[in-house]
Amino acid sequence: MTAVEEWDEGPFQPEAITVRVPAKINLSLSVGPLRPDGYHELVTVFHAVSLYDEVVARSARGIALSVEPLRRDSDVDAVPADERNLAWQAATLLAERCGVEPNVRLTIRKDIPVAGGMAGGSADAAATLVACDALWGTGLRRDELHDLAAQLGSDVPFALHGGTAIGTGRGEHISPVLASTGLEWVIAVLDAGLSTPKIFEACDARRRRSGEQAPAPGVHPDLMAALRSRDIGAIGAALYNDLQPAAVEVLPQIGELLALGVAAGACGSLVSGSGPTTVFLVDSPLAAANVEAELRASGRCRAVRRARGPVPGANVVNVR
């Protein structure tokens, strides 16, 4: 066969696309007032970390979806494998937007803790947009994918973006942050999950009880200055989450773990988003090993993981 004949075969039709997508933590999460649409105005510093889900999109007729653990200790029991799954909704939305049939078999390989405040469902939705766009050849620009992502959930646009970025509005408006250093994390995964809307409600209830008005949300300048520096101690001291007191109130063992990790040598500790996952910033391999060992020994964690950030958002890692 000549080279010319090979070119005449027509466009390449992929059979399967694999997209890898990271979990997020919120280096700061400032929650403002409840809006009339049921969301809270917020300002957050998102940070993508090296805990990943993978989504494989294969040619099919109609939509099918399955969920598998990526590692032996990954938990997938609470993840719906039907139209309630945010990945299913992402495929449907993209197909409607582009006027194509939603023909895809999705396999979600999960490692991001479920209902852990690390935006696993949002990550899978972002990965599905990228995977189906490649599989179907719909060729949307990143800003067009971003618009669809924002319709699926407040955290979905950041999962496309990755890195370290400020989220405003209900979290869907993203602008990148210049961070000059990589960060190392120890992550404590609990057996329990927490519901995001319930923790926002608990935050409002705490404010009502104490007569506190919801402030206009913002990012503390100390955190931005610390991120521009290479001062891990300053970053650790500036970590901040308005939802943390509510998460600790609902699940007091979170507070005990936060204290344990700091006593073991972490430079800073934080509940990730609405929890219950807790994350610990460490400045050396020795500190990481100490924190990890103490968290494991507490017997309160389903898994203890190490991760680094920032890492890129959803991207194609394999095409067949």
Ligand X SMILES: C[C@@](CO)(OP(=O)(O)O)[C@H](O)COP(=O)(O)OP(=O)(O)OC[C@H]1O[C@@H](n2ccc(N)nc2=O)[C@H](O)[C@@H]1O
Ligand Y SMILES: Nc1ncnc2c1ncn2[C@@H]1O[C@H](COP(=O)(O)OP(=O)(O)O)[C@@H](O)[C@H]1O
CA 134/CA 24 separation, integer angstroms: 24
Residue 146 CB, nearest distance to ligand X (Å)? 14
Number of residues that bind ligand X (CB under 6 A): 20
By CB under 6 A, name the one of 86, 129, 160, 301 that touches ligand Y: 86
Interface segment toward ligand X; rule CB under 6 A; list 102-110, 142-150, 195-203, 301-309: 195-203
Decide if 198 is catalytic: no
CA 191 to chain centre: 18
155 interacts with ligand X by CB under 6 A: yes
Comparing CB distances to ligand X, the nearer of 136 and 240 is 240
Could you say which of 95, 104, 118, 303 contacts ligand Y (CB under 6 A)? 118
Structure tokens at 39: 């969301």
Does residue 122 interact with ligand Y by CB under 6 A? yes
Distance CA 296, CA 317 (A): 32
* Rg, C-alpha atoms of the chain: 20
The residue among 108 and 179 lying less far from ligand Y, judged by its C-beta, is 108
Distance CA 255, CA 242 (A): 14
Residue written as tokens 């399955």?
66
- 91: alpha, beta or left? (left if phi > 0; alpha if psi -120 to 50): alpha
| C-alpha to C-alpha distance for 270 and 261, rounded to whole angstroms | 10
How far apart are the C-alpha atoms of 27 and 227, rounded to whole Å?
A: 10
Q: Which residues does 237 contact at the CB level (< 8 Å), separation at least 6?
A: 222, 226, 267, 268
Taking CB under 6 A as the rule, does residue 42 contact ligand X?
yes
Contact between 66 and 88 under an 8 Å Cβ cutoff? The reply is: no
Q: How far is the CB of 62 from ligand X (least distance, A)?
A: 26
User: Residues 24, 75, 242, 283: which is the catalytic one?
Assistant: 24
Is 265 annotated in a binding site? The answer is no
Distance CA 221, CA 190 (A): 31
Which of ligand X, ligand Y, none does 26 bind, CB closer than 5 to 8 A by kind?
ligand X
Candidate residues 18, 122, 128, 164; the one interacting with ligand X per rule CB under 6 A: 122
* Residue placing its CB nearer to ligand X in the complex, 18 or 128: 128
CB 260 within 8 A of CB 278: no
SS3 category, 168:
strand
Cα separation, 70 vs 51, in Å, equals 11
Stretch that binds ligand X, among 6-14, 35-43, 131-139, 185-193 (CB under 6 A): 35-43
The amino acid occupying position 43 is: V
- Please choose which of ligand X, ligand Y, none residue 170 contacts, taking the beta carbon within 5 to 8 angstroms, the exact cut-off set by kind: ligand X
85 touches which of ligand Y, ligand X, none (CB within 5 to 8 A by kind)?
A: ligand Y
User: Does position 270 bind ligand X by CB under 6 A?
Assistant: no
Exactly one of 75, 155, 242, 283 is catalytic; name it: 155
* Interacting residue ranges for ligand X, rule: CB under 6 A: 26, 29, 38-40, 42, 44, 117, 119, 122, 153-155, 170-171, 196-197, 200, 273-274
Instruction: Provide the annotated binding site for ATP.
Output: 113-123
* Interacting residue ranges for ligand Y, rule: CB under 6 A: 78-80, 84-87, 108, 114-122, 124, 193, 196, 273-274
